[in-house]
Amino acid sequence: MTEMTPTRPNTKKLFIKTYGCQMNVYDSDRMTDALAPHGYETTLDMAQADLVLLNTCHIREKASEKVFSELGRLKELQTERRALGGDMLIGVAGCVAQAEGEEIARRAPVVDMVFGPQAYHKLPDMLARAEGQRHMHPALKKAIIDTDFPEEDKFEHLPAARKEVTIKRGLTAFLTVQEGCDKFCSFCVVPYTRGAEVSRPVHQVLAEARGLVDAGVKEITLLGQNVNAYHGDDKGRVVGLGELAYLLAEIPGLERLRYTTSHPRDMDDALIAAHRDLDILMPYLHLPVQSGSDSILKAMNRRHTAAEYLAVIERIKTARPDMALSGDFIVGFPGETDQDFEDTLSIIREVGYASAYSFKYSTRPGTPGAGLSDQIAEEVKTERLYRLQELVNAQTTAFHLSCVGKTLPVLIERPGRMPGQVGGRSPYLQAVHLEGSTDLIGAIHPVEIIGTSTNSLVGRLKQAVAA
């Protein structure tokens, strides 16, 4: 059920386009919340928007370039709106804004505001300044740029995840607990765009989680670029992600907890023990290794070997034998030989992933990897990516098939694609479809898995024997 917010006469329309990772999804919701008290309401139609924000991703070149083509389209929409007597303000947020700041304003003069992820709490103020320039001659307008890494904690100023947003988005929610990264993998822009590792204090995280659960959320995914490096303050004491999980598990009504993305070096004993002890912690872990070759791992500055990664997995599986794993892989990092790539395929075979994301190495300006001389030819990257994806796709299919015949607890989240069907997620994050009434939505039900289809499972509701 959705709550209706009465439309105020001077309501302005906001359209946010979100690129990239789940943290951007979370951030876009926080920006929506920050603008609501200033009369902004979201619209699904970009052409109707008084304010368009592009929340961008800089992780790979392709992701970055999308922003400039979208700005070209926006320029046309803005011209159309102006011809009809309206206007459209345009802001670029996120990691491209952080990395390219002034360059965006120069390349795309249509942009009114450029601001990085650490400036979201200042958005209403920036917007007021942009609105103040509205009637200026275009030559005199100056884009408002904020790519500072301020001292203050933006979360102290940003609204926490709110009920309205939650209801719209359903039974699952993201909650950012940590931002930034101190690992400096040599291919990655994150330490430069999101800045140094910062953890939110425990009381803030618990309060936001309780608010989400009060609003009907059953499953929370804790977010952080390096989420398992979480080290939040609890009245002067430092709390790690493992301990945080135990604290969150005490919230009545919270049924499932996940977290992403983790670094192998930060899988400490407390977190592994939490996986052993807490049913609420789902047995599905995204733990990227990037490569299976020790020399490439070294060049990537991952600070662990393939054997150390496998040893971490072994410890996790001892604590939680049904743990399903997911990973990220980069092919064609500078200097990657055929043998290095074979080592990556070997580690994939050894781990057996439930799912995986894989990418061709993309040179990111300003990262150490960009300065390396032995870059790999595009055709070689393409061929390696194809082979790697063939292998992980086969593993995903095998994992789905291994679930057939089992009864899994499924959080039923929504009506299915066909009438009379509902859909939800297994503990292993697989989509599950089954015949059933929409009354099932909102709770975890036992579902017998009777088949698979592309990227999902087909199930049958198992009647609970007793309540």
In order of 90, 92, 147, 215, 323, the CA distances from 108 in angstroms are 10, 10, 17, 41, 47
Interface pattern 292-311 for ligand SF4 (x via CB under 6 A)? --------------------
Tell me the per-residue interface mask from 163 to 202 with ligand 5AD, x by CB under 6 A, - otherwise. ------------------------xx--------------
Residue 77 backbone phi and psi in degrees, to 5: -60, -40
Nearest distance in Å: CB 63, ligand SF4: 14
Please state the closest distance from residue 124 (CB atom) to ligand SF4, in A: 29
DSSP code of 5? P
* Sheet strands side by side (includes 284-286): 284-286, 324-331, 355-360
- If one asks whether residue 422 binds ligand SF4 (CB under 6 A), the answer comes out as no
Choose the contact partner of 183 out of ligand SF4, ligand 5AD, none; CB within 5 to 8 A by kind. Answer: ligand SF4
How many angstroms separate the CA atoms of 228 and 240, rounded? 8
Other beta carbons less than 10 A from residue 168's beta carbon = 13
Round to whole Å and give the CA distance between 266 and 38. Answer: 41
- Among residues 200, 263, 364, 425, which is the contact residue for ligand SF4, using CB under 6 A? 263
| Binding flag, residue 165, ligand SF4 (CB under 6 A) | no
Among 89, 127, 185, 244, interactor with ligand SF4 by CB under 6 A:
185
- Binding residues with ligand 5AD: total (CB under 6 A): 12
Residue 359, contacted partner among ligand SF4, ligand 5AD, none, CB below 5-8 A by kind? ligand 5AD
Contact 16, 45 (CB under 8 A): no
Max distance between CA atoms of the chain, in angstroms, equals: 73
What is each CA distance from 275 to 262, 287, 428, in whole angstroms? 14, 14, 14
According to CB under 6 A, which one of 230, 361, 399, 428 is a site residue for ligand 5AD?
361
CB of 240 to ligand 5AD, least distance (A): 21
- Interface with ligand SF4 includes 181 (CB under 6 A)? yes
| Least distance to ligand 5AD, CB of residue 221, Å | 15
CB of 191 or CB of 424, closer to ligand 5AD: 191
Could you tell me how many residues make up the chain? 467
- The burial class, CB within 10 Å (0-12 / 13-18 / 19+), for 206 is middle
Using CB under 6 A as the binding rule, whether residue 178 contacts ligand SF4 is answered as no
What radius of gyration do the chain's Cα atoms show?
23
Provide the binding-site residues for ligand 5AD, judged by CB under 6 A. 59-60, 187-188, 288, 290, 328, 330, 359, 361-362, 364
Provide the binding-site residues for ligand SF4, judged by CB under 6 A. 181, 183-185, 188, 190-191, 225-226, 263
